[in-house]
């Protein structure tokens, strides 16, 4: 474009920016390359069997989620276990959800034999279950492999003494006995068909 063809508006504009021959400082390029080489060497030399003390201290059992025994004499908070494991279905106030999840407040299953309540928590329930005259067709998961005896006892003691319920407490020994007696069971209880015999 010839100088006499440049409009005043174009003359006011700044020239278009363009990169120089070295867009990144050589220090940054060198540092990035060094870090990349270090990362590759570090990963290549790190073994999967390195002791946990070299990392964050977790063991294989921690990473696999293997339950560990509670310290001797340590109390388990049944309300906390309930909030973490049960309240999503049975609700915080034990009211359940109509047609899907039965209420625990005033339930004959909660107030009944402790061994039946323990068996339900350990092995779960599927199929139609009648609670307080209403039928529910939800599925309760099996908590036996996930909860220790003390946790099952604590959550059942909490449920059996909350929301107007006034049944006796459940001990870890009670849970251990039911766990042993029902160890051969490989599937959840089939609602009323299986549980009526345990009332």
Give the pLDDT score at 34.
Answer: 97
Handedness of CA 161, 165, 168, 170 (dihedral sign): negative
**Residue 64 pLDDT more than 70?**
no
SS3 of residue 109 by DSSP: helix
Which of 59 and 177 is assigned the larger pLDDT? 177
Contacts of 99 (CB under 8 A, 6+ apart): 136, 137
Give the lowest-confidence range in 2-11, 128-137, 184-193: 2-11
| DSSP per residue, 130-174 | EETTEEE---BPP-TTTS-HHHHHHHHHHHTTSTT--PPP--HHH
pTM of the entire structure?
0.61
Hey, what domains does the chain have and what are their CATH numbers? 82-198 (1.10.760.10)
| Residue-wise pLDDT tens digits, 146-156 | 888 899 899 99
**pLDDT confidence of residue 73:** 44
Alpha-helical runs (H) found in the chain: 8-12, 26-45, 60-64, 78-85, 87-90, 108-111, 114-123, 149-159, 172-181, 191-195
Q: What is the mean pLDDT of residues 1-23?
A: 74
């Amino acid at each position: 474009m010839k100088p006499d063809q440049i409009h005043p508006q174009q003359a006011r504009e700044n020239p278009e920016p363009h990169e120089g021959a070295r867009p990144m400082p050589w220090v940054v390029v060198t540092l990035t390359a060094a870090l990349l080489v270090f990362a590759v060497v570090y990963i290549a030399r790190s073994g999967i069997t390195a002791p946990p003390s070299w990392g964050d201290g977790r063991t294989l059992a921690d990473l696999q989620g293997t339950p560990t025994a509670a310290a001797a004499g340590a109390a388990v908070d049944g309300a906390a276990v309930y909030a973490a494991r049960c309240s999503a279905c049975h609700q915080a106030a034990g009211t359940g959800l109509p047609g899907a999840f039965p209420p625990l407040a005033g339930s004959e299953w909660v107030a009944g034999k402790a061994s039946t309540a323990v068996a339900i928590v350990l092995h779960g329930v599927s199929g139609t279950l009648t609670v307080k005259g209403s039928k529910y067709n939800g599925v309760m998961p099996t908590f036996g492999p996930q909860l220790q005896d003390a946790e099952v006892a604590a959550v059942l003691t909490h449920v059996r003494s909350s929301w107007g319920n006034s049944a006796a407490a459940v001990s870890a020994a009670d849970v251990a006995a039911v766990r042993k007696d029902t160890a051969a069971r490989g599937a959840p209880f089939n609602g009323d068909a299986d549980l009526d015999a345990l009332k």
